[in-house]
C-alpha cells in the first residue's frame, strides 16, 4: 500500500497545506496541482517577458521549506508547477534546495509548433464550435497538450525527490505513483481507471475533505485546520480516501460523491490520455471515521487523440462597483446603472457586452433569487467587454463621478477606478497522440 496526498488544488491554494501534510503523518508521495486553463496563458506571457519565468513561482520556496523532511523520509513530490518552463522551475528548486534531485517532464508545450500542425493539415478545430484554429491564429497565447501519467511515472523512476511537469492532467499526479510503485502497464485498463478516479477525487485538495461542501457544511469541524486528502492505494486498484488524524474537515462518502461530480461530462466515458474510466462503476463505502473505501472501477483503452488546451486574446474588460446604503438601496443602484449606460451611449462607445449585477439581491442566483423588499445595502457591479481598449478604459472613468453626480449614499470607491484587463478565451482542440513526444530530464 502507498499513501498519496494532494496539498494544492490550484495555484493560490493554502500554502500551509503541503507543509502540514508532510509534518503530520506518513506519506509516500505528495502531489501538488497548480494549473488551470487560464493559468497557462498567464505563465506563457510571463515567459515571453522573461525567459527565466513561466512557472508557479511560489512552488520553489515551498519545496525549500519541506526539503529536509521529504529527503529524510523518502517522500517524492509530483507537481505540474512547471507551467510552460519546467526547466527554469527545476533550476530554481535546485538553487533553493540543492540537496534535492529534480526531474522534469517535457513535451506538452506546443506553442512553437502551431504553424507546423496547421501546415500539415491538422485543423485543430474548436471542439465546441467546430471553427478552425486558423480563425484565431494571430491571437494565440499558449498551446499545451494534456499528457498523461506514464511520462510522470518515468520521471519518478529516476529516483528524483521532486518531479516537475507542465500541462499533465490533474489525475496523472496521483495515477503516476501507482504506475511507478505497482508496475501497471498501458493495458491495465481497470487499474488505470481506478488510479484516475483516485486522482479525480483528490485533485481539488480540501474540496474532498469538506471544503466547499454543500452537505451539512455547518457541521464540518475545524475549517481553520482542515486536513487535505490522502489516498491509500493498493496494487489491485482499490483505495481508501482519508486524511491525517487530528486535522479538521471530514471524509465521508457524501463528500466524496460531490467531488466525483466535479467537471464530469459523460460519466461512462471519463476520457484521459491514459484510459477511459467508467464513473458509473464506482463503488463507495464508509470504512470508519474519515475513511471512504473506493472499489469496483472499470476502464477501457486510452483514446488515439490528445486534447490540446489553447488560450487566445479576446479583447478587454473592466469591472467597476459602488455600494448604496438604505433606504431605497436597490432603487439607487438601478439608477446608477441607467446613468452609466446612458453616458456611455452619449459618448458613442460600443462594447461586445455590458453586464450589471446587484450583490445582496440577485447576483448569485439571478431570477431564482428570493425577493428582497428593502435591502440594507446593495453593491452594483457593472462590467464591460470589448475589442477597443480605449473604449473600455473610458468606461473605467464613469463610476467614480456617480459619487457626486448620482443617487445619494454611494460608498465603496476607495480603490480608485477599475483596471483594464485582457480577456483570455479558451480553445479546446484535438491532435493525434503520435504528434506529441514527451521526454524526461534530470536537472543537475
Instruction: Report the CATH number at residue 328.
Output: 3.30.70
Task: Say if 77 falls within a structural domain.
Answer: yes
User: Of the candidates 55, 237, 238, which has an alpha carbon nearest to the alpha carbon of residue 162?
Assistant: 55
Clarify whether residues 292 and 333 are in a common domain: no
Task: Say if 125 falls within a structural domain.
Answer: no
Clarify whether residues 282 and 356 are in a common domain: no
Phi, psi (deg, nearest 5) at residue 262: -65, 125
User: Of the candidates 440, 444, 441, which has an alpha carbon nearest to the alpha carbon of residue 150?
Assistant: 440
Clarify whether residues 297 and 317 are in a common domain: no
State residue 86's pLDDT score: 96
Task: Say if 97 falls within a structural domain.
Answer: yes
Task: Say if 129 falls within a structural domain.
Answer: no
Angle at 422 between CA 418 and CA 426, to 5 degrees: 135
Task: Say if 266 falls within a structural domain.
Answer: yes
Among 236, 270, 303, where does a domain finish? 303
Q: Is 132 exposed, middle or buried (0-12, 13-18, 19+ CB in 10 A)?
A: middle
State yes or no: pLDDT of 37 exceeds 80.
no
> 331 by DSSP, 3-state: which?
helix
State the total domains in the chain.
2
Clarify whether residues 273 and 383 are in a common domain: no
State residue 295's pLDDT score: 98
State yes or no: cis peptide before 338, omega within 30 of 0. no
State yes or no: cis peptide before 327, omega within 30 of 0. yes
- Residue 307 to residue 432: CA distance in whole angstroms: 9
By percentage, how much of the chain surpasses pLDDT 90?
92
How is residue 117 written as a grid cell?
Answer: 500542425
Asked if 358 and 380 count as a contact pair (C-beta separation under 8 A), the reply is yes
Asked if 85 and 50 count as a contact pair (C-beta separation under 8 A), the reply is no
Question: Given the C-alpha cell 497522440, which residue does it identify?
Answer: 433
In the predicted model, what is the mean pLDDT of the chain?
Answer: 96
- Residue 92 to residue 74: CA distance in whole angstroms: 21
How is residue 212 written as a grid cell?
Answer: 466547499
Q: Do the bridges between strand 102-106 and strand 76-79 make them parallel or antiparallel, or are there none, so unpaired?
A: unpaired
State residue 338's pLDDT score: 98
State residue 188's pLDDT score: 98
User: Of the candidates 141, 124, 139, 275, which has an alpha carbon nearest to the alpha carbon of residue 200?
Assistant: 275
Asked if 358 and 377 count as a contact pair (C-beta separation under 8 A), the reply is no
Clarify whether residues 51 and 173 are in a common domain: yes
| H or E stretch covering 316 | strand 305-325
Among 303, 320, 345, where does a domain finish? 303
Average pLDDT over residues 48-62: 94
Task: Say if 49 falls within a structural domain.
Answer: yes
State yes or no: pLDDT of 39 exceeds 90.
no
Task: Say if 141 falls within a structural domain.
Answer: no
Average pLDDT over residues 297-312: 96
Clarify whether residues 28 and 60 are in a common domain: yes
| pLDDT-wise least confident of 35-39, 275-279, 280-284 | 35-39
Clarify whether residues 176 and 79 are in a common domain: yes
347-370 pLDDT tens trace: 999 999 999 999 999 999 999 999
Give me the helices (H) in 120-243, please.
149-156, 172-182, 189-202
Average pLDDT over residues 205-215: 93
State yes or no: pLDDT of 159 exceeds 80.
yes
State residue 415's pLDDT score: 82
Structural domain containing residue 412: 311-425
Clarify whether residues 174 and 287 are in a common domain: yes
State residue 33's pLDDT score: 96
Average pLDDT over residues 8-17: 95
Q: Band the pLDDT of 444: cuts 50, 70, 90.
A: confident
Q: Band the pLDDT of 102: cuts 50, 70, 90.
A: very high
Average pLDDT over residues 286-307: 97
Clarify whether residues 290 and 332 are in a common domain: no
State yes or no: pLDDT of 7 exceeds 90.
yes
By percentage, how much of the chain surpasses pLDDT 70?
100
Phi, psi (deg, nearest 5) at residue 413: -110, 15
Give me the helices (H) in 249-360, please.
253-260, 329-346
State residue 38's pLDDT score: 76
Clarify whether residues 334 and 266 are in a common domain: no
Q: Band the pLDDT of 310: cuts 50, 70, 90.
A: very high
How is residue 379 written as a grid cell?
Answer: 453593491
HSE, side-chain direction, 13 A CA sphere, residue 7: 26
- Residue 7 to residue 267: CA distance in whole angstroms: 26
Clarify whether residues 289 and 386 are in a common domain: no
Q: Band the pLDDT of 214: cuts 50, 70, 90.
A: confident
Task: Say if 140 falls within a structural domain.
Answer: no
Average pLDDT over residues 16-40: 93
- Residue 196 to residue 183: CA distance in whole angstroms: 15
How is residue 382 written as a grid cell?
Answer: 457593472
Amino acid at each position: 500500500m502507498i499513501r498519496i496526498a494532494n496539498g494544492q488544488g490550484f495555484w493560490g491554494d493554502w500554502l500551509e497545506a503541503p507543509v502540514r501534510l508532510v509534518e503530520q503523518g506518513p506519506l509516500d508521495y505528495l502531489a501538488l496541482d497548480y494549473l488551470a486553463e487560464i493559468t497557462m496563458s498567464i505563465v506563457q506571457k510571463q515567459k515571453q517577458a522573461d525567459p527565466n519565468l513561466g512557472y508557479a513561482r511560489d512552488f520553489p520556496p515551498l519545496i525549500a521549506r519541506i526539503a529536509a523532511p521529504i529527503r529524510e523520509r523518502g517522500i517524492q513530490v509530483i507537481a505540474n508547477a512547471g507551467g510552460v518552463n519546467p526547466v527554469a522551475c527545476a533550476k530554481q528548486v535546485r538553487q533553493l534546495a540543492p540537496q534535492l534531485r529534480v526531474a522534469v517532464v517535457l513535451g506538452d508545450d506546443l506553442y512553437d509548433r502551431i504553424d507546423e500542425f496547421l501546415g500539415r493539415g491538422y485543423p485543430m478545430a474548436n471542439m465546441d464550435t467546430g471553427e478552425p484554429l486558423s480563425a484565431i491564429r494571430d491571437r494565440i497565447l499558449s498551446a499545451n497538450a494534456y499528457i498523461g501519467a506514464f511520462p510522470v511515472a518515468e520521471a519518478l523512476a529516476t529516483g528524483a525527490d521532486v518531479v516537475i511537469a507542465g500541462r499533465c492532467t490533474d489525475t496523472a499526479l496521483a495515477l503516476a505513483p501507482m504506475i511507478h510503485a505497482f508496475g501497471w502497464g498501458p493495458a491495465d485498463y481497470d487499474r488505470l481507471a481506478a488510479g484516475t478516479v483516485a486522482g479525480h477525487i483528490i485533485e481539488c485538495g480540501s474540496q474532498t475533505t469538506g471544503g466547499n461542501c454543500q452537505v451539512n457544511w455547518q457541521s464540518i469541524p475545524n475549517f481553520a485546520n482542515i486536513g487535505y486528502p490522502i489516498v491509500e492505494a493498493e496494487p489491485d486498484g482499490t483505495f481508501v480516501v482519508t486524511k491525517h488524524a487530528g486535522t479538521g474537515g471530514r471524509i465521508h462518502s457524501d463528500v466524496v460523491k460531490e467531488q466525483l461530480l466535479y467537471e464530469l461530462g459523460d460519466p461512462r466515458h471519463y476520457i484521459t490520455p491514459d484510459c477511459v474510466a467508467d464513473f458509473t462503476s464506482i463503488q463507495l463505502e464508509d470504512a470508519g471515521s474519515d475513511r471512504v473505501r473506493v472499489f469496483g472501477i472499470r476502464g477501457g483503452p486510452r483514446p488515439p487523440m490528445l486534447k490540446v488546451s489553447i488560450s487566445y486574446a479576446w479583447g478587454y474588460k473592466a469591472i467597476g462597483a459602488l455600494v448604496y446604503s438604505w433606504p431605497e438601496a436597490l432603487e439607487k443602484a438601478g439608477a446608477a446603472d441607467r446613468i452609466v449606460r446612458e453616458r456611455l451611449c452619449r459618448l458613442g462607445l460600443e462594447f461586445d457586452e455590458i453586464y450589471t449585477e446587484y450583490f445582496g439581491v440577485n447576483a448569485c442566483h439571478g431570477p431564482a433569487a428570493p425577493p428582497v423588499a428593502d435591502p440594507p445595502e446593495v453593491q452594483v457591479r457593472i462590467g464591460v467587454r470589448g475589442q477597443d481598449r480605449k473604449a473600455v478604459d473610458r468606461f473605467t472613468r464613469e463610476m467614480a463621478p456617480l459619487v457626486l453626480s448620482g443617487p445619494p449614499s454611494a460608498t465603496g470607491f476607495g480603490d480608485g477606478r477599475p483596471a483594464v484587463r485582457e480577456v483570455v478565451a479558451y480553445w479546446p482542440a484535438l491532435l493525434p497522440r503520435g504528434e506529441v513526444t514527451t521526454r524526461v530530464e534530470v536537472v543537475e
